[in-house]
Structure 1
Amino acid sequence: MERDIVIMGGGPGGYVAAIRAAHLGAKVALVEEDKLGGTCLNRGCIPTKSLYKNAQVLNTLKKAGEFGIRLQGYDLDMKKVQDRKKEAVSRLCSGIGQLLKGFGVEVLPGRGSLMDKSTVSVVTSSGNRECAKAKNIIIATGSIPAQIPVPGLDLPGVMTSTEALELDHVPKSMVIIGGGVVGIEFAGIYQSFGTEVTVVEFLPRILPGVDDEIVKRLTMLLKRKGIKIETGVKVKEIRRESGGLQVLAEGKNAEVAWNAEIVLVSAGRSVNTAGLHLDEVGVSYSRGGITVDSHFATSVPGIYAIGDVIGGQMLAHVASDEGKAAVENILGLSGHINYDAVPSCVFTFPEVAAVGLTEEAAKSRGISYLVSKFMFAANGKALTMGETDGLVKVLADGNTKKIMGVHILGPHASDLIHEGVLAVEQGLTAEEIGRAIHAHPTLAESFLEAVLGIEGKAIHMMPQK
C-alpha cells in the first residue's frame, strides 16, 4: 500500500503532523522506535513538570507559617514522586496511541532510515525489516543531549537530564554544568528537594536569549533561595574524589573546583540525524540541522523535515506547529510559522515566560520601541497568594504602539503569557488591548496595567516623571 505521507519520529512534531494529515484525508504512517510522545513526553517536558509540581508543593509547605498553618513535619518519598511521574507519562503516552488509532494513522514500530526519496526502511527491535513507501516523507527525529569535550563524563554519578529524572533519592549536592533552560529548571527542582545546587555556566549569564533584565532579576531570586550560580566559567575536567565528584574549571581569574555527589551535564541539545542515511539520499544538512525552505522542504523533492532536527527554536510546541504547517504545504494548503510570536517558558521559582522581541533584539534591529513594566507586588491577587516577586514587561513599537514583546517573571507566567502571544501574533496595539476588561482580582490585571503604561494610562502605577 502506498501512503501519502510517512513520518519518521513520533514526538510532538511527528504525531501532531500525522493527526493533521489525517484531518485532511491523507493516508499516513508514523515510524517510531521508542515510545510515542518523543523526548518531550518521556524524557523532558512532562516528567520534568511532574517533579516541578513536587518541588512547588514543598515550597508551599515551607511557607505554610505565613498563612497561619502549623505543620508538625514532613518528608519526601522519592519512590512516590517517581511513581506519580511515571503514571502521568504513561497516561499521556497511551492517550497519543489512542488518538493515532482513532484518526486511522498507521504506527510502524522500529527505527527508520531513508532508502530513497519515497521509501523508509523500518527495522524493528527484533531485527525484522519493512519498507514503507509514500509520496512524501517527513523527518521528525528530534534531538539528543549535547556532549561537551570534557574528561570524566563517563564517571559514575555524571549524568544527563534523562538520568536525573530517574533519581531514586535526593542527592546531598549537585553541580549542574550549563545554565540554559533545562539546567536552571533542574536547579530549582532539586534545591527545593533539599539538594545543595551549584550551576556552572560558560557564558556571562544564564538563560541566553531571555530578556536581560528578566535574567538579572531571576538570578538574584535564585541566589536568594540558596542556588549558587557561577558564570563565565569553562569546565576543564570531572574527577572522582573520595566521597564524590569534583568539577574543575577555569574561572575569571583563577582555577576553581566544586565537589558534589551528582554532576548533571546540561549543555544543550544536538540534532538527531545519525543513521538516517541523509548523505546517501542527498538531503542537505549541517551541524545545526537539516536544511529546509519556508515550506519545510529539504533539498530532495518529496522529503520534508520539522522540529528539533532542523535546529532553530527547539521547543515542543514549535515542532508541533511546524508539523502542521509542513503537512498543509504538502497537501496544497498554505502553512506558515510566525517565529516572532513563539512563546517560551522556564519553570523556575518564580516562572519565566516570554514572547516576541527582547529589548536587546529590538535594539539590534534598529526598531524604535517603548517599554512599560508592572510589578506583581502591586497586584492584589499576587499579594494574597504570597507570590509578589517579579513583573510583567511589555515592549511596543514606538510609532504604531503595536505590542512587539511580552516578558513575565512571576507567578503563573507560563499561563499569563498567552494573552501576550495573541497580542504579538495579531499585531494588537496598546489601545486595543486596553479596551478589553480584565477580571478583578486576577494576575492578568498585571498584563493590562503594563500595556496601559505604554501610553501613560495605567491606573495602579505611579506617574512617570
Structure 2
Amino acid sequence: MAYDLIIVGSGPGGYVAAIRASQLGMKVAIVERENLGGICLNWGCIPTKALIKSAQVFEYIEHAADYGIKVAKPEIDFPAMVQRSRGVADGMSKGVNFLMRKNKIEVIDGTGKLIRGKKVEVTDADGKATTYAAENIIIATGARARPLPNLPIDGKKIIGYREAMTLTDQPKRMVVIGAGAIGTEFAYVYSSIGTEVTVVEYAPEGLVPREDADVSKELTKLYKKKGIKVLANTGVESVDTTGDVIKVTAKDRKSGKDVVIECDVVLSATGVAPNTQNIGLEDLGIEMIRDLIKVDERYRTNVPGVYAIGDVVEGPALAHVASAEGITCVEGIAGLEPEAIDYNNIPGCTYCVPEVASVGYTEAMAKEEGYELKVGKFPFSASGKASAAGVKEGFVKLIFDAKYGELLGAHMIGANVTEMIAEVVAIRKLETTGHELIKTVHPHPTMSEAIMEAAAAAYGEVIHL
C-alpha cells in the first residue's frame, strides 16, 4: 500500500492538492474521517451561502412592493430552509467524490495519524488500524470552532457554526459572540427571518473589525438599521444556561458597566482552532509555531517528505488560500518551480447582506507603512445599476500609492462585491496603475463601474459624483 503522495484531510486544500498531484502523474491517496470536501463544502462556505440565499429570497419577497409586485405575506419554513442547505452541501460532497474517481485518487475512510518512516496509520469507524506508506505526506486537517474558555460549546444552548446550520427550530432570540465573517453572516441569516439578534464583539470597531474602518462603520450602521443590536467594545463575562432562558452577562469595556442579555441560544463565533492535535506531530518532531505547523514557502516542514497546508499553517484561514497552497505544494513536490503565493494579494469575502470584500492594505495599514496615499471612494447610491436593482447601500474604496500609482488596497461593501473583488486582485497581480484603471473602459450599467469611478475619485477625475 505505497503511494507517491498521501494527503490527510479532504477539504479545499486536500482534495485540490490530490487532483493536481494526479494530473502530474502521482499515485495519490486521500484520508478523510468524515465527508469529502471537509468543513468548507459540508459545514462552512457552501451550506452557509445556501442559508444566506434563502434569507435573501425571504427579504426580496417581503420587499416585493418596492419593485411594483404584490404578493401574499411570506412565511419561513425553517426546517425546509435547513434541509435545502444540507442538500446543497451533500451535492457538492458527491461532486468531490466524482472528481476523486475521475482522477484515480484512492479515498481512505478513517482518522489519519502520521507515524515514523513516511507512513500514515488510518483507524476506521470500527477501530481497525491500517498503515499506508508514501514518499510524500501532506497534512491538510483544517480547523474547528475555537470556543472561549468561559463559553464551552454544549451543542444545545451554546452552539458553534455546525449547530447553527442544523437547528431544528428557529430561535426567537439569539446572541452571536464574535463579529467576524462567521458571526456576521449568521447574524444576517437569523435576523432576516425574524430572530431577534444581538451581536457582541470585543473589538471597538464593531462588525468585521479586521476590515477597513470605513467598511466596518458602514456595515455596523446598516445592521443596526436592520434591527440587529451590535455591542462593540464589549466582552462576555459569563453565560448562565441553568434556566429556560439563557442569560449572557457582558461588560462594556469603555464604561465598565455590565449588560445582561436574555436569549434562547448563544452562537459562539470567535474564530477557529487548527486540527493539529493527536495526528502524530509530536512523535515525528515536527516544528510548531504555537498550535500551527511551521513550513517554508513550499510548505515543507522540518521533517523531509512531510508538508502542511491550509488552516494548520500560518496565513488566512480561507478555502481559496488552502487550495492555492495545495497546488503550490504539489507542484514543488513534482519538481516544478511554482511561484510563491503573495499573501498580501489574497481577497477576503464576507457573504452577509450587503456583502463585504477586500484585498491588500487598509487605509490605516498603508499609512503605518509610510505610504503617501491617494484614496478614492464611490458610493453605490450614485450607481445606475445599483439604483435599478434597489441595492444602493455601500461603496467601493480604493487606496493608491501617490508616488507610483500602485493600488495598495481595495475595500467594498455592497451587492455582489464578492464577485467584483476578483478584478482588483488581478489588477494588483498585474501591477496596474491608477491611471491605467481609470482608462480601462467598464460596461454600463454595471456595479463594476464603481471600481473605475473610485479610481477616478482618487485622482480628482470622477464623473458621476
TM-score, with structure 1 as normaliser: 0.96
Q: How many angstroms apart in 2 are the aligned matches of 1:374 and 1:117?
A: 58
**SS of equivalent residue, structure 2 residue 21:** helix
Aligned residues of 2:434 and 2:455 also touching (Cα < 8 A): yes
Of 118-127 and 427-436, the range deviating more from structure 2: 427-436
Aligned to 2:59: 59
Task: Tell me the CA shift for residue 448 of structure 1.
Answer: 1.2
Task: Tell me the CA shift for residue 151 of structure 1.
Answer: 5.5
Aligned residues of 1:5 and 1:136 also touching (Cα < 8 A): yes
Of 151-160 and 411-420, the range deviating more from structure 2: 151-160
Q: Percent identity?
A: 40
Aligned to 1:286: 289
Q: How many angstroms apart in 2 are the aligned matches of 1:154 and 1:271?
A: 20
Aligned residues of 2:373 and 2:400 also touching (Cα < 8 A): yes
Read off the aligned partner of 1:346 and give its amino acid letter: T
Task: Tell me the CA shift for residue 242 of structure 1.
Answer: 4.3
Aligned residues of 1:152 and 1:237 also touching (Cα < 8 A): no
Task: Tell me the CA shift for residue 16 of structure 1.
Answer: 0.3
- Match among 406, 409, 413 for residue 405 of structure 1: 409
User: Kindly tell me: are residues 152 and 28 of structure 1, through their superposed partners in 2, closer, same or farther at Cα, counting changes over 3 Å?
Assistant: closer
Q: Which runs of 5+ in 1 are unaligned?
A: none
User: Kindly tell me: are residues 155 and 273 of structure 1, through their superposed partners in 2, closer, same or farther at Cα, counting changes over 3 Å?
Assistant: closer
- Match among 388, 392, 399 for residue 396 of structure 2: 392
Residue 322 (1) aligns with residue 325 (2): yes
Aligned residues of 1:155 and 1:240 also touching (Cα < 8 A): no
User: Kindly tell me: are residues 218 and 245 of structure 1, through their superposed partners in 2, closer, same or farther at Cα, counting changes over 3 Å?
Assistant: same
Aligned to 1:168: 168
Q: How many angstroms apart in 2 are the aligned matches of 1:291 and 1:364?
A: 28
Residue 232 (1) aligns with residue 236 (2): no
Q: How many angstroms apart in 2 are the aligned matches of 1:138 and 1:298?
A: 10
Aligned residues of 1:152 and 1:239 also touching (Cα < 8 A): no
Aligned to 1:244: 245
Aligned to 2:350: 346
Aligned to 1:90: 90
Q: How many angstroms apart in 2 are the aligned matches of 1:3 and 1:302?
A: 12
1:134-283 paired onto structure 2 within 5 Å? 134-150=134-150, 153-154=153-154, 156-205=156-205, 206-240=207-241, 242-252=243-253, 253-283=256-286
Q: How many angstroms apart in 2 are the aligned matches of 1:436 and 1:156?
A: 53
Of 429-438 and 295-304, the range deviating more from structure 2: 429-438
Task: Tell me the CA shift for residue 88 of structure 1.
Answer: 0.8
Of 44-53 and 197-206, the range deviating more from structure 2: 197-206
Aligned residues of 2:157 and 2:264 also touching (Cα < 8 A): yes
Q: How many residues align?
A: 461
Q: Which runs of 5+ in 2 are unaligned?
A: none
**SS of equivalent residue, structure 1 residue 4:** strand
Read off the aligned partner of 2:165 and give its amino acid letter: L
**SS of equivalent residue, structure 1 residue 372:** strand
Aligned to 2:100: 100
Q: How many angstroms apart in 1 are the aligned matches of 2:227 and 2:315?
A: 33
Read off the aligned partner of 1:100 and give its amino acid letter: M
User: Kindly tell me: are residues 63 and 151 of structure 1, through their superposed partners in 2, closer, same or farther at Cα, counting changes over 3 Å?
Assistant: closer
Read off the aligned partner of 1:228 and give its amino acid letter: K
Task: Tell me the CA shift for residue 2 of structure 1.
Answer: 2.5
Aligned residues of 1:117 and 1:301 also touching (Cα < 8 A): no
Aligned residues of 1:202 and 1:234 also touching (Cα < 8 A): yes
Read off the aligned partner of 2:116 and give its amino acid letter: D
Q: How many angstroms apart in 1 are the aligned matches of 2:326 and 2:433?
A: 30
Task: Tell me the CA shift for residue 169 of structure 1.
Answer: 2.2
Aligned to 2:125: 125
Q: How many angstroms apart in 2 are the aligned matches of 1:156 and 1:102?
A: 40
Read off the aligned partner of 1:313 and give its amino acid letter: P
Q: How many angstroms apart in 2 are the aligned matches of 1:400 and 1:199?
A: 41
**SS of equivalent residue, structure 1 residue 187:** helix
Q: How many angstroms apart in 1 are the aligned matches of 2:155 and 2:346?
A: 38
Read off the aligned partner of 1:236 and give its amino acid letter: E
Aligned residues of 1:117 and 1:302 also touching (Cα < 8 A): no
Read off the aligned partner of 1:401 and give its amino acid letter: G
Q: How many angstroms apart in 1 are the aligned matches of 2:83 and 2:384?
A: 37
User: Kindly tell me: are residues 151 and 425 of structure 1, through their superposed partners in 2, closer, same or farther at Cα, counting changes over 3 Å?
Assistant: closer
Aligned residues of 1:290 and 1:310 also touching (Cα < 8 A): yes
**SS of equivalent residue, structure 1 residue 273:** coil
The alignment's C-alpha RMSD in Å is 1.4
**SS of equivalent residue, structure 1 residue 217:** helix
Q: How many angstroms apart in 1 are the aligned matches of 2:114 and 2:168?
A: 39
Q: How many angstroms apart in 1 are the aligned matches of 2:64 and 2:421?
A: 28
Aligned to 1:81: 81
Read off the aligned partner of 1:75 and give its amino acid letter: E
Read off the aligned partner of 1:64 and give its amino acid letter: A
Task: Tell me the CA shift for residue 301 of structure 1.
Answer: 1.2
- Match among 414, 424, 429 for residue 425 of structure 1: 429
Provide, for residues 317-353 of structure 1, a one-character-per-residue CA deviation record: whole Å limited to 9, x for no partner: 0000000011111111123211111111111111100
Of 212-221 and 127-136, the range deviating more from structure 2: 127-136
Task: Tell me the CA shift for residue 26 of structure 1.
Answer: 1.2
Aligned residues of 1:375 and 1:390 also touching (Cα < 8 A): yes
Aligned residues of 1:393 and 1:450 also touching (Cα < 8 A): yes
